[in-house]
A = this chain, B = another copy of it.
Amino acid sequence: MTGYAPAEAARRSGFSLDTLRYYEKIGLLADVGRTAGGQRVFTDDDLSWLVLFRCLRDTGMPIAQMCRYAELAREGEHTVDERRELLKQHAAQVEEQMLLLSRQYEHLREKIRFYERLPGPTPETEQPTATPSGPAVSR
């Protein structure tokens, strides 16, 4: 019921005004209300969509796919299966992403440990990944 002015919606969603307008322009966020004079009024429903978009965006979903999802949702109840599948597929990709990220994070930590084992600028050779910890070549 409560309506939010653009600035307030931006503040609450964490998206910029321009991004909100952009999302509407490309049809990601549809049917945003307007005042008589044409200024946008965001509802709680719009806000919860934005929360979802933030979640999907933060997890790396491309905008095109978010559009697809939103479109399906607008099409009605008979698309729930497809929507669920879309989200499940995305979740699987996020899992992969998390795995890769934590693996690479470990490499990074190892490299930092290497730097911490040499207290000050020592003489001698410098290799980038030559933390003596295994074969340098990955895959």
Residues of A within 8 A of B (CB): 12, 14, 44-45, 47-49, 51-52, 54-56, 58-59, 73, 76-81, 83-84, 87-88, 90-91, 94-95, 97-98, 100-102, 104-105, 107-109, 111-112, 115-116, 118, 120-124, 126-130, 136-139
In the complex, besides A48-B130, A48-B137, A87-B111, 6 extra interface pairs with C-beta distance below 8 angstroms are A51-B136, A51-B138, A77-B123, A80-B120, A91-B108, A98-B102
Cβ contact within 8 Å between B87 and A121: no
* Docked complex Cα distance between A9 and B120 (Å): 33
Cβ contact within 8 Å between B136 and A47: yes
Interface of chain A: mostly helix, strand, loop or mixed: helix
Q: Which one, B81, B105, B118, contacts A59 given CB within 8 A?
A: B105
3 residue pairs, one from A and one from B, having the closest CB atoms: A84-B115, A48-B129, A48-B136
CB distance from A68 to the nearest CB of B (A): 14
Cβ contact within 8 Å between A136 and B101: no
Cβ contact within 8 Å between B12 and A76: no
CB distance from A139 to the nearest CB of B (A): 6
